[in-house]
Amino acid sequence: MDSYGVESFSLDHTKVKAPYVRIAGKYTGVAGDTITKYDLRFTQPNYNAIPTSAMHTLEHLLAVYFREDLDNIIDISPMGCRTGFYLLCFGELSTSKVQDVLIRSLKKVIETQDVPAANERQCGNYRDHSLFGAKAYAMLVLEGFNVL
Ligand SMILES: [Zn+2]
């Protein structure tokens, strides 16, 4: 099957076991900066997907919580299949370090009272949030990592 040069198209999604953290790519820019892309898989591909409202809330929360622990983040964004997130950062961190930060961040999700930037000015679809759903999926991932 053609992967069109896209790393995730060459991943056999029937062979992975969620949750997991995986390095999905390493890139070096013309100035020598290195960038690493991580696949943070929350739910089992083609068996369970996170509803958009919960996904959106997790996006807002993880954007804040990952930056509390790491200062080299470029972006953390949802996968269109809604089974996880991509993390991009300068340099390279071990997958176990990224998994530690993910676990710490998901524990903060469970304690969260308000969704940051969930308003018309700071968000493109501020009505589509579910803190309840975000917490439910955070717990599911933490259970999957055997840390809850
Ligand atoms: Zn938003």
pLDDT higher than threshold 90 for residue 94:
yes
DSSP string, 77-132: EE-TTSSEEEEEEES---HHHHHHHHHHHHHHHHH--S-TT-STTT-SSTT---HH
Host domain of residue 66: 14-144
91 burial via Cβ count (<10 Å: 0-12, 13-18, 19+): exposed
**Pairwise CA distance, residues 101 & 68, whole Å:** 9
Q: Which two tokens stand for residue 73?
A: 């983040």
**Structural domain total, the chain:** 1
Rounded to an integer, the average pLDDT of 30-54 is: 97
What is the predicted pLDDT for the residue at 48?
95
Tell whether 1 is covered by a domain.
no
Q: State the pTM of this model.
A: 0.95
Distance 142 CA to ligand 1 centre (A): 23
What is the predicted pLDDT for the residue at 34?
97
User: Is the Cα dihedral 37, 141, 67, 98 positive or negative?
Assistant: negative
Distance 60 CA to ligand 1 centre (A): 6
Distance 98 CA to ligand 1 centre (A): 23
Tell whether 4 is covered by a domain.
no
C-beta of residue 86 within 8 angstroms of C-beta of residue 40: yes
Tell whether 69 is covered by a domain.
yes
pLDDT higher than threshold 90 for residue 54:
yes
Tell whether 42 is covered by a domain.
yes
**pLDDT category, 1, cuts 50, 70, 90?**
confident
Rounded to an integer, the average pLDDT of 40-60 is: 98
pLDDT higher than threshold 90 for residue 78:
yes
Task: Give the Å distances, CA to CA, from 32 to 35, 86, 90.
Answer: 10, 22, 11
When mean pLDDT is compared across 3-17, 59-73, 112-126, the lowest value belongs to 3-17
pLDDT higher than threshold 90 for residue 130:
yes
What is the predicted pLDDT for the residue at 126?
98
Tell whether 2 is covered by a domain.
no
Tell whether 9 is covered by a domain.
no
Distance 72 CA to ligand 1 centre (A): 22
Q: State which residues have CB under 5 angstroms from ligand 1, the bound ion.
A: 123
Distance 123 CA to ligand 1 centre (A): 4
Rounded to an integer, the average pLDDT of 59-85 is: 98
Rounded to an integer, the average pLDDT of 23-35 is: 96
Tell whether 6 is covered by a domain.
no
Residue 108 sits in a domain whose CATH number is 3.30.1360.80
Radius of gyration of the chain measured on its C-alpha atoms = 15
**Pairwise CA distance, residues 23 & 116, whole Å:** 28
| Residue indicated by tokens 């969704």 | 115
Tell whether 5 is covered by a domain.
no
